[in-house]
Homo-oligomer: A and B are copies of this chain.
Amino acid sequence: MEQRIDRIKKQLHSQSYKLTPQREATVRVLLENEKDHLSAEDVYLLVKEKAPEIGLATVYRTLELLNELEVVDKINFGDGVSRYDLRKEGADHFHHHLVCIECGSVDEIQEDLLGEVEKIVENDWRFKIKDHRLTFHGICYRCHEKQDTGEESGSEVKELN
């Protein structure tokens, strides 16, 4: 955690940005909620618990900055809000998502999966790939099992909204 923050700090400095207390608090929230897919508003509320003086605008600016530095990826699952997803350190590709249309859960796939596909795209379409977004919409294993046992589709899994 601390090492991770330290590396982000260096990354900021290398582009002559500073790791201000507000930025650090924001990064900490992202690290502590690595598995979630927080909106700017979500991040704002969480940061406010620890640094109540922070303003929403600063959170937006920080997230924008972290996005430029490729520390986070901005992603949109089709509801109207942008979500910010920490990029795995050293990951050369953005991970994939499974969005459940039943319960709203979002799971991540860290495996590459697209190696072959990207070769085809680069060769056949002469397209130099810099980034990708792959999201599957469907029914997650939890909702499957619920349906199998006749259990109701509840909200034990964190909802998207």
Complex copy number for this chain = 2
Chain A residues numbered 106-126 whose CB sits less than 8 Å from any CB in chain B: 107, 109, 113-114, 116-118, 120-121, 125-126
Total number of A residues with any Cβ neighbor in B under 8 Å: 33
- The answer to whether A131 and B138 have CB atoms under 8 Å apart is yes
Interface of A is mostly: strand
State the CA gap A116–B100 with chains docked (Å): 20
Asked whether any CB of chain B lies closer than 8 Å to the CB of A103, the reply is no
Q: A74-B78, A109-B125, A121-B136 are in contact. Are A130 and B114 (CB under 8 A)?
A: no
Residues of A within 8 A of B (CB): 74, 76, 78, 98, 100-101, 107, 109, 113-114, 116-118, 120-121, 125-141, 144
